[in-house]
Amino acid sequence: MKSKRKYKLLGRTVAFIITLILMICIMAIGLFYYIFSIPEPYGISITDFPKNFTNSYTVWTTYENGKLTIEEKGLKRLDEYGLWIQFIDENGEEIFSHNKPENFPTKYTAAELLALTTSDYENGYTLFVNILDDTDKECSYIVGFPYDIGKYMLYCNGSRISRLSPAAKLLTMVGFGILMIFIFAYSVWLSRKLSKVTKGISGISHRTYTPLKENGIFSEVYQELNKMYFDIRHADKVNEDTERVRREWITNITHDLKTPLSPIKGYAELLTDSSNLTGETSKEYGEIILRNVNHTEKLINDLKMTYQLDSGAFAYSPKETQLTRFIRELVIDIVNDPAFSNRNIEFESNTDECIVLIDPDLFRRAIQNIIINALTHNPPETKVLISTRIDVQSNVHISICDNGVGISEDELPELFSRYYRGTSTKEKSEGSGLGLAIAKQIIELHGGNITVSSKRGKGTKFEISIPEQRK
């Protein structure tokens, strides 16, 4: 209880001190305004605009070989502000003027130009003089401002200060002293906070960053720095994994290319010595060579397809296609392939009226890759079922199911990775590791989606969905 009263009293004391300091600062600022924010005698307003405008007018002017050029934008600025300008050559003679009053001369001596520079007012105008010093010949110009614009940025009336009481003078000094201390302390505090930010950015770039506590006035900045750090760290991890897989894949694909090339070379050498070969043997050797050439060609085509899909170099030509008929014909072609003629492949559909917008060649490649993947990675007795259906949202679904060996949970997340080949593949030379990645890219190119579910020893199911093209 005593502790609560103690903290409550302390809080009130701190609040009182802060309020007192603020009141002193406010009163000091008021006195400062009273002393300094008064116009100079004769009612001249306080501004630094005329001087800055005059000095910067050179951006709209050029003076070369005695020829003056002024941009239209510069003249419009004079009209907007109600100003006039006069250009004087090295002899003091006028070479150009805009909006100049009639009571100003067209020629000046050096002494007269100097007098205009130092004087406050002339013929009802405040005059500012500047020189075009980036030319071969000297050229001066005068800018005339309305009478109520003065040359002085700040004017202090000493009589006002002398009329202040000693208490007011002390209050002003104390108030400004407190302000200076506050500004200095705030600057030190702010520099430390900013130093944490700069060190954090440097740490992120050098991968030596330590996450900051997300509190205080810069909590949002610290939060963004932490998020950036974790995002970069995640990206680094992904890049490392991708690079590792890429190196492994290059090693594998190099081996896969060498594998068919070795028998091609060997059997080709045997065929060159046809004196001891029968026609049947020559035919057998030729078939072996052709099979390995086809395999090599497939590997190269997969690499080419991957590059084309990544770079957008592939000619995408979508057409309205009757999907059920399209899939049925694709399945028939696979069944008629001698390599899969003895496999159990079935097709079913709940609709014959299903129009989709697809590129036939690309989409055929995608579905074919998935079906052949199911046939290649499973025993010969495995049943593969391909089916199509339309859901209530008019999405078209293509299912490719098998009752084969299945895929482990560890492999599923990597199944569509570009360089990944599953451990269930017995004949690794039969695939490039790109088939499913290519299929996924093609399906997504059509605005579709592909998912996979599987259990070891139970089989695998690929589910593809694409929007129906309604007439």
Q: Is the pLDDT of residue 384 over 90?
A: yes
Q: Is the pLDDT of residue 155 over 60?
A: no
Q: Is the pLDDT of residue 341 over 90?
A: no
Do residue 76 and residue 128 come from a single domain? yes
Do residue 53 and residue 140 come from a single domain? yes
Mean pLDDT of 39-65: 69
Phi, psi at 55, each rounded to 5°: -65, -35
Q: Is the pLDDT of residue 271 over 70?
A: yes
* Residue 319 or 268, more confident: 319
Q: What is the pTM of this model?
A: 0.45
Mean pLDDT of the chain: 77
Mean pLDDT of 268-288: 76
Q: How confident is the model at residue 402 (pLDDT cuts 50, 70, 90)?
A: very high
Q: Which two tokens stand for residue 313?
A: 């170099």
On whether residue 164 sits in a domain, the answer given is no
Q: How many domains does the chain have?
A: 3
Close Cβ partners of 83 (under 8 Å, ≥ 6 residues apart)? 53, 77, 99, 143, 144, 145
Do residue 301 and residue 349 come from a single domain? no
Chain segment 68-124, per-residue pLDDT in tens: 888 999 999 898 888 999 999 888 899 999 999 888 888 888 778 877 776 666 777
Question: Could you tell me the CATH number of the domain that includes residue 458?
Answer: 3.30.565.10
Do residue 437 and residue 322 come from a single domain? yes
Alpha-helix runs per DSSP H in 119-218: 158-162, 166-205
The residue segments making up the domain with residue 273 are: 220-307
Least confident of 289-298, 327-336, 384-393, 417-426: 417-426
pLDDT of residue 419: 58
Do residue 342 and residue 236 come from a single domain? no
* Residue 370 or 14, more confident: 370
Phi, psi at 43, each rounded to 5°: 75, 25
From 307, 329, 348, the end of a domain falls on 307
217 within 8 A of 193, measured Cβ to Cβ: yes
pLDDT of residue 96: 92
pLDDT of residue 198: 78
pLDDT of residue 422: 58
On whether residue 32 sits in a domain, the answer given is no
From 127, 146, 165, the end of a domain falls on 146
Q: Which two tokens stand for residue 45?
A: 């307003």
Q: Is the pLDDT of residue 312 over 70?
A: no
Close Cβ partners of 61 (under 8 Å, ≥ 6 residues apart)? 68, 69, 70, 71, 74, 132, 141
Least confident of 35-39, 124-128, 130-134: 35-39
From 262, 284, 307, the end of a domain falls on 307
Residue of 252, 241, 245, 257 lying closest to 292 (CA atoms): 257
Mean pLDDT of 373-390: 90
Interior/surface letters 52-75, b for 16+ CB within 10 angstroms, e for the rest: ebbeebbebbebeeeebebeeeee
Chain segment 161-209, per-residue pLDDT in tens: 556 667 766 766 776 677 677 777 777 777 777 777 777 777 777 777 7
Q: Which two tokens stand for residue 83?
A: 């100003």
pLDDT of residue 326: 92
Q: Which two tokens stand for residue 331?
A: 């399945």
How big is the chain, counted in residues? 471
Q: Is the pLDDT of residue 429 over 50?
A: no
Mean pLDDT of 244-262: 72
Mean pLDDT of 142-167: 63
Do residue 135 and residue 254 come from a single domain? no
pLDDT of residue 168: 66
